[in-house]
Amino acid sequence: MIRKKKSSFVWYESISYAILATGEIITANYIIENIANTHSGTFLVFFLTGCIVLDVYIVFVFYRVSAIREMEKKNALLQQQTDMQMAVYRDLEKRYQNSMTIIHDVKRHVNALEGLIQTENLTEAKQYEKSLYQQLDKLHPSFHCSNQLLSVILNHELLKAEQKGIQLNLNILYDKLDFLSDMDLTTIVSNLLDNAIEAVSELDKDRTVLFVIEEQMQCCMIHTENKYEKLNPNTENSFLSTKNGHAGIGLKNIEMTVKKYNGIWKATVENNSFVVSITIPIDSQPII
């Protein structure tokens, strides 16, 4: 029943149950050896029945606690997905507001530039023109592809990497990712790059992240590679977060999302680099 419900006990629950069972066995043995001679067998039957009822009750309590724990994990994963999606939307909104501010002032800038030219203040006009171009360049995204959401996510990550002094090398050879929902695309790409940027930010050198998306044999291949200072391996193809207060939710979210599309994900260490490789069939339908 526990396996069917995908519930699991933690180590201290198993130890507690083992201690309880040991105590019951010792007590039952004591009763058999010292009390059975002065009491009828009915007492022993009632005692053993009580032990069984207590055991079943405790197993039920552990099961309920385990089910609640699994639900809390799922809620934490969903909350992480939501927070990540909102971060992307907030970045997009901020860029939109900046563009509207510049556009709103374009007429004023043009009038000021014309005034400088008419008064033959060419040096000041050149400087003003240069400043205006710099403002307009802020409206132009650093990266653009046919998938608008992917463009927003990657520009968000590029800005984050730039602020940390990290070089983010993008090699997007395939961008037809419509088979992924917006939430799932954000979960995969943002988590991969967030983890890589966070790891590289702890380094004094080799502060570079490689991110590749390509198509091979009707599969979408996603690849990240970065140097690292330390890793916290959990099991084969599994790593825990090295950040305080984190429990590897990002990696777990990536794994769950990839499996949702019948894909394969693999995390390895190659040539002193942390490498994540994801393969998702392009024609796959998400498992609800």
Does residue 105 form part of some domain?
A: no
Same domain? For 153 and 284 the reply is yes
Does residue 279 form part of some domain?
A: yes
Mean pLDDT taken over the chain: 78
Does residue 117 form part of some domain?
A: no
Given a contact cutoff of 8 angstroms between Cβ atoms, the answer to whether 44 and 32 are in contact is yes
Question: What pLDDT score was predicted for residue 8?
Answer: 59
Confidence of residue 213 (pLDDT cuts 50, 70, 90): very high
DSSP state of 34: I
| Whether the predicted pLDDT of 142 surpasses 90 | no
Same domain? For 51 and 155 the reply is no
Q: Of 64, 79, 94, which one is at a domain's C-terminal end?
A: 79
What does the pLDDT look like over 47-93, one tens digit per residue?
Answer: 778 888 888 888 788 777 777 777 777 777 677 777 777 777 776 66
Same domain? For 280 and 152 the reply is yes
- Which residues sit opposite 281 in a β-bridge? 219
CATH code for position 231: 3.30.565.10
Kindly tell me the sign of the dihedral angle through the C-alpha atoms of 51, 52, 54, 58.
positive
Same domain? For 159 and 288 the reply is yes
Specify the range with the lowest mean pLDDT, choosing from 90-99, 113-122, 169-178.
90-99
Q: DSSP string covering 88-141, please?
A: HHHHHHHHHHHHHHHHHTHHHHHHHHHHHHHTT-HHHHHHHHHHHHHHHHTTS-
Q: Of 58, 79, 100, which one is at a domain's C-terminal end?
A: 79
Domain extent, residue 242, equals: 143-288
Does residue 116 form part of some domain?
A: no
Same domain? For 71 and 167 the reply is no
What does the pLDDT look like over 92-110, one tens digit per residue?
Answer: 667 666 666 666 666 677 7
Same domain? For 181 and 282 the reply is yes
Does residue 202 form part of some domain?
A: yes
Q: What is the pTM of this model?
A: 0.61
Does residue 118 form part of some domain?
A: no
Same domain? For 189 and 53 the reply is no
Number of structural domains (the chain) is 2
Confidence of residue 200 (pLDDT cuts 50, 70, 90): very high
Question: What pLDDT score was predicted for residue 169?
Answer: 94
Residues 221, 224, 230: CA angle, nearest 5 degrees = 145
Does residue 224 form part of some domain?
A: yes
Same domain? For 32 and 170 the reply is no
Does residue 115 form part of some domain?
A: no
